[in-house]
A and B are shown apart, each in its own frame.
Chain A
Amino acid sequence: EPEVTQTPSHQVTQMGQEVILRCVPISNHLYFYWYRQILGQKVEFLVSFYNNEISEKSEIFDDQFSVERPDGSNFTLKIRSTKLEDSAMYFCASNRGDTDTQYFGPGTRLTVL
Chain B
Amino acid sequence: AQKITQTQPGMFVQEKEAVTLDCTYDTSDPSYGLFWYKQPSSGEMIFLIYQGSYDQQNATEGRYSLNFQKARKSANLVISASQLGDSAMYFCAMREGKDSGYSTLTFGKGTMLLVSP
Query: 1/0 contact trace for B102-115 toward A, CB 8 Å?
Result: 11111111100000
Tell whether B117 is near chain A: CB-to-CB under 8 Å: no
Total residues of chain A contacting the partner, CB 8 A: 29
The interface residues of chain A, by DSSP majority, are classed as strand
- Shortest Cβ gap from A12 to chain B (Å): 16
Total B residues in contact with A, Cβ cutoff 8 Å:
26
The reply to whether A102 and B107 form a contact with Cβ atoms under 8 Å apart is: no
| A45 engages B106 (CB within 8 Å) | yes
Q: Which residues of B contact A91 (CB under 8 A)?
A: 45
A89 at the interface (CB under 8 A from B): yes
Residue A55 is within 8 A (CB to CB) of chain B in the complex: yes
Residues of A within 8 A of B46 (CB): 104
CA–CA, A99 and B102, complex, Å:
9
